Chains A and B, each alone.
Chain A
C-alpha cells in the first residue's frame, strides 16, 4: 500500500530537484560557455574540500592537475564539436593539495546548442589505485620471469613443441627472440633439439604425462650461432579436470660448461 502511495503521490509532493541532486554521491556540475562553474551539488565539497559557493564562477580548469590540462582542453573541444556525451579521466587537486582521480562525463544540456554544458564527476581514485597495484604486480612478475637466466615456457604437446609463451630468456638460450619463436612457423623448439636427442625427449615427456608426473631432461639444443648447447629442462603437463593433457610448461636452463 505504501509503495502504491509513493508512486501515486501528486507531483507537488516530489522532493525539490536541488535536494535530490545534493543527496547524490557523484558531483553534478553545470558549466557556462567559458567553462566556468555555474552550479555544483553538495558532493563537490566532499570531493574537492572547497565549499560550493567558492566554486561558482570559478574556472573548472583551476582544479585540474597541470599535467592533465592539455587533455581537458582537447576534451572540451571534442565535446563542442561532436555535441555528444564524452568521458575523461583526470587528476583533480583538492583544497588540501591531495590528488584525486576523477571521471568526468560532459555533454551539452541541449543537443542542438553548444552551451550550457552539464557534467557528472565521479571519484575513481580507489579503482585507479587498485589498477596501479595490479599493474605493478604484473610488471614485477613479468620482470622477474624475463630477467631469469633461463627460458620459462608453456607449449603444446606436439613433436614440434609449439610454444604459446616463452620468457625473454629464450634469446640467451637459443639466440632467437620471443617473436621469432612464437610467430615463425618454420622455427620451433622441436626443430632445435639435436636429432640424437629428439625421440628420447618426446618419449620421456609422453611417459611422464601419462603418469601425470613432472619430467626432467638433459639434451642438446641448437643455438642460432650454429653451436649446440647442453640444456637441462624440468617441466610438467597442464591437465583439464578430466585429466586430458592441455599442454606442457616448465623451464629450460643452459648447463654448457663455461670455458
Chain B
C-alpha cells in the first residue's frame, strides 16, 4: 500500500475540484457516489475483479435512480478482458455480453469515444463511453443499457462522464501499481539470478567438471566400488549444476501476466536471429490466452524451442496456438528434425522432467511425441479458465 499514498495525493486536488463541480447540480450532489473513494478503491485494490464488482453495485444504485438504466463494464484489465461485468442484482439480458464483445472489443473501435445504438432484435438501447486506460491497445467501456427509449446524449453524459473518468483514473492507478509491483519482482529476481550466477553456478560448474574427471579416472582403476561412488557423485553434481542453471534462466525471464502471446512471438523472434531455421507462428487464439502462471508456460515453450535449435537438426519449426472445443488451448510446438532418439531422450531427460513439472504447476498437460512426418511434436494443453 506504500504506493497508494502518493497516488492519492496526486489525485486529491483534482478530485476536490470534481466534487465541487458536482455540487453545482443539486440532483447529482444528493446521490452521487463518492467518486474520489471509487478512484482510491480501484487504484489500491488487491483484487480488481472484486473491487470492480463492488463499484458496479454502488454505481447501479445511482444510475438506476437517475437514468433508469443498467450499468455494465467490459474490456477491464482482469484475466478475461472480454468478460462483461454486471452489478450483483442484475442479470444481463441473453446475448448482451456477446453483442457488446463483438461491437466494442473485437470490432476495435479506434476513433469513437462514445457509442449509441439500439440492440438488434430487442427493445434495448446502448449508450457506451470509452474509458481511457494506460494501455492503448486495450480499451475499456462503461455501458448503460436502457430498457425502452434512449435519452439524449447530453443528460446521460452529465451523469456518466464523471463516473467514467473516475473509473478510468482508478484503473489507471491500479495498472501503474501493478506494473510497479511487476518491475519490483523482476528486479528482485534479476538480482537473485546475478548472485546465483556469480557464486553458486561457478562453483558447481567447477565441481561438475572435476567430478566427471574423477569418475573417468576411477573407472580405469580396479576398484569397482570407488568407480560407482564417483560416478554417482558426478551425476549429482551434473544435476545440481543443471538445476541452478534452470533457476538462473527462470529468474532472468520476466513476463507480465496476460502477455503470453506477445512473449511467444518475442521468443520466436529471438530464436530466429540465432539460427537459419524457419519459424512459423500460427496463432488462432488472438491475444486471449490465459494460464495460471504465464512464466511457467513461456519457460516450457522456450525450452522446447531451445531443444529444437540445439538438438533437432530441423529446418522448420512451428508454434501453433489453437482453441479446442472444450475451451482449452493447445500450444503445439513441432519441428521437422531427426526426432527424439532413445539416447538423446536420456541426455535431455532432465530438461523434459522440468518441463513436465512446470506444466503440472499450471495444471496443464504436456505430451512429447514423435511427429508422424518426422521430427518432434510437443503439445501443451492449457485448461480453460474457470
Contact = CB atoms under 8 A, between A and B. Distances in A.
Interface string A114-145: 00000000000000010011011101110100
B274 A66 contact: no
A67 interface: yes
B276 A67 contact: no
A135 B276 CA distance: 9
Contact of B315 (A133, A139, A141, A143): A133
Contacts of A67: 283-284, 286
B284 A66 contact: yes
Interface in A82-139: 91, 93, 97, 99, 129, 132-133, 135-137, 139
Contacts of B283: 66-67
A136 B277 contact: yes
Contacts of B274: 143
B284 A65 contact: yes
B61 to A, nearest CB: 40
A172 to B, nearest CB: 18
A132 B278 contact: yes
Contact of B276 (A91, A129, A136): A136
Contacts of B272: 136, 139
B275 interface: yes
A66 B272 CA distance: 23
A137 B273 CA distance: 10
A143 B277 contact: no
Interface in B268-327: 272-280, 282-286, 315, 322
Contacts of B277: 136
A137 B276 contact: yes
Interface residues of B, number: 16
Nearest to A136: B278
A143 B284 CA distance: 30
Contacts of A91: 282
Contacts of A97: 322
A143 B270 CA distance: 11
A16 to B, nearest CB: 39
A45 B285 CA distance: 26
Given A139-B272, A139-B273, A143-B273, A133 B278 contact: yes
A242 to B, nearest CB: 36
A127 to B, nearest CB: 14
A66 B286 contact: yes
A66 B320 CA distance: 13
Nearest to B284: A66
A129 B274 CA distance: 19
A143 B273 CA distance: 6
A120 B160 CA distance: 50
Nearest to B106: A69
Nearest to B107: A73
A136 to B, nearest CB: 5
Interface in A52-86: 65-67
B278 to A, nearest CB: 5
B103 to A, nearest CB: 15
A91 B285 CA distance: 15
A205 B315 CA distance: 41
Nearest to B282: A99
B275 A140 contact: yes
A154 B158 CA distance: 68
A129 B278 CA distance: 9
B217 to A, nearest CB: 35
A137 B283 CA distance: 24
A95 to B, nearest CB: 15
Nearest to A138: B276
Nearest to B272: A139
Contacts of B280: 132
Interface of B: 272-280, 282-286, 315, 322
Interface of A: 65-67, 91, 93, 97, 99, 129, 132-133, 135-137, 139-141, 143
18 contacts: A65-B282, A65-B284, A67-B283, A91-B282, A93-B284, A97-B322, A99-B282, A132-B280, A133-B278, A133-B315, A135-B278, A136-B276, A136-B278, A137-B276, A139-B273, A139-B276, A141-B276, A143-B273
Given A66-B283, A140-B276, 4 more contacts: A133-B315, A135-B278, A136-B277, A137-B276
